[in-house]
Amino acid sequence: MNRGAARFLHASVLATAGTGAVYAWMRWWLLPVDEFAVVNHPWQPAVQHLHVLAAPLLVFAVGLVWSAHALPRLRERHPARRRTGLVLVLLLWPMVLTGVLVQVATDERWRAVAGYAHGVASALWTAGYGGHALVAVVRWARSARRAPDALGIEALERRDRVPTGPVEVGSPR
């Protein structure tokens, strides 16, 4: 996966999860300013629209990453982060399907059930995405720490240090 695809994925996750979290906060935790209000916050419809516009970008980005990153790793039987990646794929389907169901359900009870299910699935997927990225960063940091030893750089640094004690002329350090 190239950097452009990775940045597009990160941006779409940030936009979708951010607008989704703000919308959930407005919808479920804020109280309306008056008893006849249709929404709990004046920006609630705008945030919902931004979320609905950002979500297809996320689905497209996940498809792009699936073809450029996940599928080749599965074919090569590459074990690194396979479990967290597969969990992301499995959690994607309930998140997307309940997100669609929230928009198309006509019965208020089904819409409420789909809304709560979408919130839970989205929170789990976002946490899984964060975990998947965190595992990658930890592995990268560990490999960066080991890399000097594997290349012998530390041994070179020790050899090139200036000795602290007296040195005989012509003797090896």
Q: Which two tokens stand for residue 78?
A: 């590459």
pLDDT one-digit tens code per residue, 130-170: 998 888 888 888 877 655 544 445 544 544 455 555 556 66
Phi, psi of 20 (to 5 degrees): -65, -40
DSSP 32: P
pLDDT one-digit tens code per residue, 21-40: 999 999 989 988 788 888 99
pLDDT one-digit tens code per residue, 86-127: 889 899 999 999 999 999 999 999 999 999 999 999 999 999
d(CA 108, CA 4): 41
Residue 155 has what pLDDT?
47
Q: Give the dihedral sign, CA 123/128/131/132.
A: negative
Residue 74 has what pLDDT?
78
Residue 145 C-alpha from the chain's centroid: 24
Cβ 98 vs Cβ 121: under 8 Å: yes
All structural domains of the chain with their residue ranges: 1-76, 79-159
Question: Is 59 a residue whose pLDDT tops 60?
Answer: yes
